[in-house]
Structure 1
């Protein structure tokens, strides 16, 4: 570019001097001198300025600099237009031809040397072309005028074409430079990271041109592995035995067939350690198609592979117990069903639920519970054979897939063995723990042709085992689906029972053991449904608890019982059973206060009955709620004492006013069973020492009543003194009786 500027200056000045030579003696010397100085000054000045600003050394010029170049071309065109219009016609024809020839040379030179600035070249050519045509016109050279215009037009077209080609060439160069920079950057990054390496083989599949990075990946020097078979290097000891992993077999076939491959994952032995490589390669062929070996890249992806394996293991195994999780169990069960369909066999699915596990979690904490689950999984794993896959579904639920369940006796034996094994005591953190197990079994395809149906059938069988009190094994029966559907329909009806006014309360009297006088009633909930008729509380109360309906139902019971108790004498109390779910409800205490306020029943006439199950939920705050209830003046009664854990710690934590002795001990005492007699005596003695009263439940015969009185119980409740009765029948007891000496005629009751 610098040379082009210098040539342009020298050429332009030389043409100017030649023009002066043509015009000497024919043009005024002052005018000619001024023109010569202008031409010399213009081109020298423009060259010096361009060189000073290093215009030629830059890849681009600014808009102002571009305008300067155009103005310079405009000035040059004006000067040469003066020469061809004024100087040419003033002399003879030779002068005109000479000046025109010089102008034509400058026009061609401008078109060639100024293609980078096409607009400036067009301005110069256009002015010179027009002035040449006009000059020839002045001396009647019409053909030359037309030729001048035509030449100018051709040169302008050439400038446009050259300018376009120049711009396209520069764009292509810029794109190429950009790609070169990207490739260079990638190569530098490849060299710096060292994550991948290059490898190549010859026609015999032996390594050639071993790179340092590849040698480092192999753990040997380049000289040691140069020329060795590629497969021998990566196969390790398997090369001698010939027992290649499947991936290496596939690699060998690719190399043998000279096929390209990409991102192939292969295990390799490096220093007796298995590593995972991801390699790609393609055959090297010359212009004639001759094979010259393989060239490819590889990288060590052992860490990524191990991470992927770990994630896959976590997705299919339980992290706490190490047993297969629900996902793997369902997959295995699905495959077992396919096999049983294919070979006309049977498969089985067992669901296991731990009995009394929740009590361990609530009393000793979840860490102990987790360690207990680990011990359970160890025992289950110890009794599994190749025919079974044991896993954990979640919580305290486990499951077993039996691949071949053709032998029904084997299934029964396995269920019993599981219960016996899991029921043995556990030693965890210096605690001796006793739990049990309930098992439900379903056989496929008899009990379900899909995984979901078979699991549902096993779950129904397990539910039946839990209903039997735990520690039982039941196989699925079709009627269980009927019971489940009935339970579902009953739950729907139960949700509407309150709104449809289907509940009622019966009241069973509680009398003094000494006088037989009525001291209170226990409110007992009854449900009469148009579809199911009279439903047993043993059936709908657990359903209400499972469906979380016990809280609104319990509120209705509390408010109704308090209102009814206000119709009785002031000495008669009302006892209301409260579940653990009610006690843990945040609004329970406010509800009790509201029920007492709305009914105007004194707090000391209300007795709330709870069972030991509430103490199995230490983290729920039930004990604190009981203390607040006592603080309101409400009496507390501990129901069914002796049938559960019967911990004396409960009586230390909470000040109960009454302890109720279960009817099983009452019946045993009447039959003079030593254990029942001892238990009742112990409870009575303990209650007396703690300032509590005792109520014996379930007294049905005169012998039982006499034994209760003999053992010293304070109160008696049972059919002997009265069955649960409707509210109007309970109110009828108080007619024409002195409230202070109210008694029940047992024969009338």
Structure 2
């Protein structure tokens, strides 16, 4: 213990030991020489005495150098281990154990440089999971992590030694293939990825099914960065996600043009919100038997500085693809509730929220706030849900709709574009009313067949014992058909055009004076 105090470094203690050993052997030699001779020191020569004196220093220095070298070697090994560990942490995703974005960037840059070797047009597949947010929201983040880990394991096992799998972050993965394959070969590769999602994944509290969308591109010689490659893959992925379900899309130049148009539309919409260019109109809803006004459907309009007044159908797609749908939709709901509070009871209000609103966890509280601020009875508000909603959103949407129904708000399900009511959603959403979207039927099947299909759909709704309404009445024959088939409500341009809020009081006064078969 005392030795460590005076000689704290290992090489110092080794030097002391070496010095002691170096002094011991000369001492033994000198003692032996003295004892076995005449006992005098006169026979010692100068060279022997000098060697005996220097030997401790030589031995101590040698021991010191050997110990110092061993310490440096151990430290160097430790540094190398730390470097490997750090490099692994920097280039490895902790959750899935796959290579991460940093590793992808390094590999892509290495492939782009090629350094004298023939350039390979390697395929890059950007994979995005379906329903990941729904799993996270309904089953918890632990289940979401298990899902990501399970997908990572399947991808790694399926393509081990054939392609490199990376996790970019969130629910996005990348598969970087070898060589310069043809489009057909890459299609086979994408199909193999999609097949990995056929079986459900074991999570914390059960199983969950998931699909994927894949954007496909290739490394090109003109690429200067990984970002350029990923941008092309992301544009292709966007198109694949629009197709719903397991699908893949190859990048094409027109996708970049479409993306620029979307970005321009989003900027235009953002300006419209800041300049308050949106306003509301109201489509009267009439009872088919009496012709009396029973309510109004609120319609969003945009007073565009160049294109003039345009309807929702002209801008709903870019609006719903961004966060502005929540801002504009919530504003429309608030304003229409305030307007409806001025109408005589029981005239109702029908609102068709954007899908982003229906998926919003604050939607129920926002509806409560709008009703309370306006002083509108919940039973006079109808929230209409479209059949076009993604099935992956149903869990969150059903939760919100159940809360609305408990509040007393009516729920309507709109559909019929495929000449069939969305019966699979009737049991899931439990609506208070079914609405036949006549313009959608007309677009798909033509005007001649639309009347016959309308009667069939209304009869089908009656079998379900749900009140039926018809949107988009454009001719007297359609109104007669809706009435005869048993629909309780109808609205459309033949009954009345959409009206600004200032015209509604006069319309309601006239409706009180007389029941009109046609309001305009």
How high is the TM-score relative to the length of structure 1?
A: 0.50
- Residue 414 to residue 297, structure 1, CA distance change in 2 (3 Å): closer
The correspondence for 1:316, drawn from 78, 83, 91, is 91
Match of 1:451 in 2: 226
Match of 1:484 in 2: 259
- Residue 512 to residue 476, structure 1, CA distance change in 2 (3 Å): same
Q: Is 1:185–2:11 an aligned residue pair?
A: no
Give the whole-Å Cα distance in 2 for the aligned partners of 1:710 and 1:432.
48
Q: Is 1:331–2:106 an aligned residue pair?
A: yes
Deviation, 1:592, is: 0.2
Q: Is 1:426–2:205 an aligned residue pair?
A: no
Match of 1:646 in 2: 425
Match of 2:305 in 1: 530
Match of 2:517 in 1: 743
Match of 1:355 in 2: 130
Give the whole-Å Cα distance in 1 for the aligned partners of 2:179 and 2:115.
8
Unaligned runs of 5+ in 2: 23-56
**Superposed counterparts of 1:88-127, under 5 Å:** none
Give the whole-Å Cα distance in 2 for the aligned partners of 1:363 and 1:348.
35
- Residue 343 to residue 635, structure 1, CA distance change in 2 (3 Å): same
- Report SS of the residue matched to 1:297: helix
Deviation, 1:337, is: 1.7
**Superposed counterparts of 1:352-391, under 5 Å:** 352-381=127-156, 383-384=158-159, 388-391=163-166
**Superposed counterparts of 1:48-127, under 5 Å:** none
Whether contact under 8 Å (1:596, 1:603) holds in the other structure is no
- Report SS of the residue matched to 2:114: helix
Give the whole-Å Cα distance in 1 for the aligned partners of 2:152 and 2:501.
54
Q: Is 1:584–2:362 an aligned residue pair?
A: yes
Give the whole-Å Cα distance in 1 for the aligned partners of 2:483 and 2:222.
55
Unaligned runs of 5+ in 1: 1-179, 192-197, 200-208, 210-284
Match of 2:211 in 1: 436
- Residue 709 to residue 309, structure 1, CA distance change in 2 (3 Å): farther
Give the whole-Å Cα distance in 2 for the aligned partners of 1:437 and 1:300.
49
Deviations, residues 94-137 of structure 1 (Å, cap 9, x unaligned): xxxxxxxxxxxxxxxxxxxxxxxxxxxxxxxxxxxxxxxxxxxx
Higher Cα Rg, which structure: 1
Give the whole-Å Cα distance in 2 for the aligned partners of 1:341 and 1:540.
51
* Farther off after superposition, 560-569 or 488-497: 560-569
- Residue 337 to residue 704, structure 1, CA distance change in 2 (3 Å): farther
Deviation, 1:503, is: 0.9
Whether contact under 8 Å (2:166, 2:174) holds in the other structure is yes
Deviation, 1:459, is: 0.8
- Residue 711 to residue 369, structure 1, CA distance change in 2 (3 Å): farther
- Residue 574 to residue 398, structure 1, CA distance change in 2 (3 Å): same
Match of 1:508 in 2: 283
Whether contact under 8 Å (1:333, 1:349) holds in the other structure is no
Give the whole-Å Cα distance in 2 for the aligned partners of 1:332 and 1:719.
60
- Residue 286 to residue 340, structure 1, CA distance change in 2 (3 Å): closer
Q: Which has the higher contact order (CA 8 A, sep 6+)?
A: 2
**Superposed counterparts of 1:530-679, under 5 Å:** 530=305, 537=312, 540-541=315-316, 543-544=318-319, 547-565=322-340, 570-578=345-353, 579-580=357-358, 584=362, 588-589=366-367, 591-593=369-371, 595-597=373-375, 604-610=379-385, 615-617=394-396, 622=400, 626=404, 629-630=407-408, 634-640=409-415, 643=422, 646=425, 648=427, 650-651=429-430, 657-660=432-435
Match of 1:715 in 2: 489
- Residue 364 to residue 185, structure 1, CA distance change in 2 (3 Å): closer
- Report SS of the residue matched to 2:518: coil
Match of 1:77 in 2: none
The correspondence for 1:297, drawn from 66, 70, 73, is 70
Q: How many residues align?
A: 460
Give the whole-Å Cα distance in 2 for the aligned partners of 1:504 and 1:372.
44
Give the whole-Å Cα distance in 2 for the aligned partners of 1:186 and 1:543.
71
**Superposed counterparts of 1:259-274, under 5 Å:** none
Whether contact under 8 Å (2:126, 2:215) holds in the other structure is yes
Give the whole-Å Cα distance in 1 for the aligned partners of 2:372 and 2:326.
15
**Superposed counterparts of 1:164-203, under 5 Å:** 184-187=7-10
Give the whole-Å Cα distance in 2 for the aligned partners of 1:615 and 1:339.
48
Deviations, residues 719-748 of structure 1 (Å, cap 9, x unaligned): 664565555676775574446634326xx6
Match of 2:54 in 1: none
Whether contact under 8 Å (1:345, 1:406) holds in the other structure is no
Match of 1:411 in 2: 186
Deviation, 1:452, is: 1.0
Match of 1:42 in 2: none
Deviation, 1:335, is: 1.6
- Residue 407 to residue 551, structure 1, CA distance change in 2 (3 Å): closer
Whether contact under 8 Å (1:661, 1:696) holds in the other structure is yes
Give the whole-Å Cα distance in 1 for the aligned partners of 2:297 and 2:96.
47
- Report SS of the residue matched to 1:646: helix
Whether contact under 8 Å (1:422, 1:435) holds in the other structure is no
Give the whole-Å Cα distance in 2 for the aligned partners of 1:468 and 1:596.
40
- Residue 714 to residue 381, structure 1, CA distance change in 2 (3 Å): farther
Deviations, residues 41-73 of structure 1 (Å, cap 9, x unaligned): xxxxxxxxxxxxxxxxxxxxxxxxxxxxxxxxx
CA RMSD of aligned residues (A): 4.9
Whether contact under 8 Å (1:350, 1:399) holds in the other structure is yes
- Residue 584 to residue 422, structure 1, CA distance change in 2 (3 Å): farther
Give the whole-Å Cα distance in 1 for the aligned partners of 2:349 and 2:315.
23
Whether contact under 8 Å (1:699, 1:719) holds in the other structure is yes
Deviations, residues 287-314 of structure 1 (Å, cap 9, x unaligned): 9xx9xx9663247678887676455434
- Residue 428 to residue 294, structure 1, CA distance change in 2 (3 Å): closer
Whether contact under 8 Å (1:518, 1:744) holds in the other structure is no
Whether contact under 8 Å (1:392, 1:398) holds in the other structure is yes
